[in-house]
């Protein structure tokens, strides 16, 4: 009888165990994908061809806004706690670049490529770099604007200082390269953008904005992070201390890609978003959150 009861319990245990196992997996991976419009580069383009995806978020409820305010008070912040924040919204870009001419069908599409391209004249190899800019709810970064500001004379070659960039890749004719601009890359770009936007140090003795972009924020001496909460100065040693618990970083909600290529290439991409607190807008009953970021302009302008 005892054995029979044990077997009954085993049978009953099958149901919740398997149901939990299968539905537990759902929490591990719930990203959303947004397809971006293809970017066509003719080669040595000026300005660089670009495409972007602006994510739409719902407005916070009154309760959620009160929670953000309470968090701001608890941290002793001078600024608002972002609704679209890096710890809740995680962005990644999956892309593929191919060295080829557009097909007739692609040319016929609305906003399709119009440049001349002959397959026979394609180079055997060419190089590309993917430049990623974007906007948080407070600041927007545009590599072209910054490049124009840095250009001392119209004949100077443009200098690009992207928010996030990829390692240059060389493609053979007809070849393609697939890559990912990872969440980690965006996390670094987001803190840089916040440092340049909300916490920009206008002190001329401070490192330039290029120092913010080039150096990793969490690595000492935390160049350009002078005013960002979470990068406090030790009263005893004078060193800058990094405290990630205090850091509240707005996430990039608008992703702008630019393709810098030597020859005709096409960029296909998807923006992948993990939205921990269901803040993306998907219900008509909710209002759409409309941030108005300020365009970053380098001091040289």
Partner 1 sequence: MAAALATSSMLGSAPVRAQVTSEPSAVVFPDPEKFAHGFFTEGEFGVLWFSGRASDEIAPGFAVGARAGYDIFRFFAVQLHLIGSTHQSQGDTPIAGQLLQVYQGTAEAKVTLRLVQWSFFAEGGVGAARMSSNLLYARGLARYRTGFTFGGGGGIDYHFLSRHFSIGLRGGFYVLSDVTSSRDASSTMYLRYTF
Contacts to partner 1 by CB under 8 A = 7-8, 10-12, 14-15, 17-19, 21-23, 25-26, 29-35, 94-96, 176, 178, 268-270, 272
Nearer to partner 1, 28 or 74 (CB): 28
Which ranges in 53-182 belong to alpha helices (H)?
Answer: 62-75, 104-108, 143-150
Nearest distance from residue 132's CB to partner 1, in Å?
14
Nearer to partner 1, 25 or 108 (CB): 25
Nearest distance from residue 21's CB to partner 1, in Å?
6
Decide if 258 contacts 133 (C-beta within 8 A): yes
Q: Provide the 8-state DSSP code for 290.
A: -
Q: Is 6 helix (H, G, I), strand (E, B) or coil?
A: helix
φ/ψ of 116, rounded to 5, equals -75, 140
Distance of alpha carbon 173 from alpha carbon 195, whole angstroms: 41
Nearer to partner 1, 97 or 195 (CB): 97
Reference 121, options 46, 43, 45, 178; nearest CA is 43
Nearest distance from residue 105's CB to partner 1, in Å?
15
Nearest distance from residue 29's CB to partner 1, in Å?
5
Nearer to partner 1, 112 or 207 (CB): 112
Nearer to partner 1, 32 or 295 (CB): 32
Nearest distance from residue 225's CB to partner 1, in Å?
33
Token pair recorded at residue 98: 């191919």
């Amino acid at each position: 009888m005892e054995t029979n009861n044990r077997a009954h319990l085993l049978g009953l245990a099958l149901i919740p165990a398997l149901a939990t196992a299968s539905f537990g997996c759902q929490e591990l991976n719930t990203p959303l994908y947004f397809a971006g419009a293809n970017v066509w580069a003719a080669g040595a383009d000026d300005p660089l061809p670009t495409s972007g995806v602006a994510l739409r978020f719902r407005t916070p409820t009154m309760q959620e806004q009160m929670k953000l305010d309470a968090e701001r008070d608890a941290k002793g912040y001078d600024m608002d706690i972002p609704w679209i924040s890096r710890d809740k919204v995680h962005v990644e870009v999956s892309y593929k670049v191919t060295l080829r001419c557009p097909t007739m069908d692609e040319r016929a599409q609305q906003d399709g490529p119009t440049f001349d391209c002959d397959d026979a004249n394609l180079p055997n190899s060419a190089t590309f770099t993917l430049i990623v800019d974007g906007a948080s709810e407070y600041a927007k970064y545009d590599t072209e604007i910054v490049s124009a500001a840095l250009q001392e004379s119209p004949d100077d070659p443009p200098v690009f200082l992207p928010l996030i960039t990829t390692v240059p890749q060389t493609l053979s004719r007809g070849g393609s390269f697939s890559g990912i601009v990872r969440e980690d890359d965006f996390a670094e770009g987001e803190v840089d953008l916040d440092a340049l936007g909300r916490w920009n140090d206008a002190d001329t003795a401070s490192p330039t904005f290029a120092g913010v972009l080039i150096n990793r924020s969490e690595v000492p001496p935390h160049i350009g992070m002078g005013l960002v909460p979470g990068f406090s100065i030790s009263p005893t040693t004078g060193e800058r201390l990094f405290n990630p618990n205090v850091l509240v970083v707005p996430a990039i909600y608008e992703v702008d890609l630019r393709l810098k290529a030597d020859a005709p290439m096409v960029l296909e991409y998807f923006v992948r978003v993990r939205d921990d607190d269901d803040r993306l807008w998907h219900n008509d009953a909710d209002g759409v959150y409309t941030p108005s970021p300020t365009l970053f302009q380098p001091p040289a302008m």
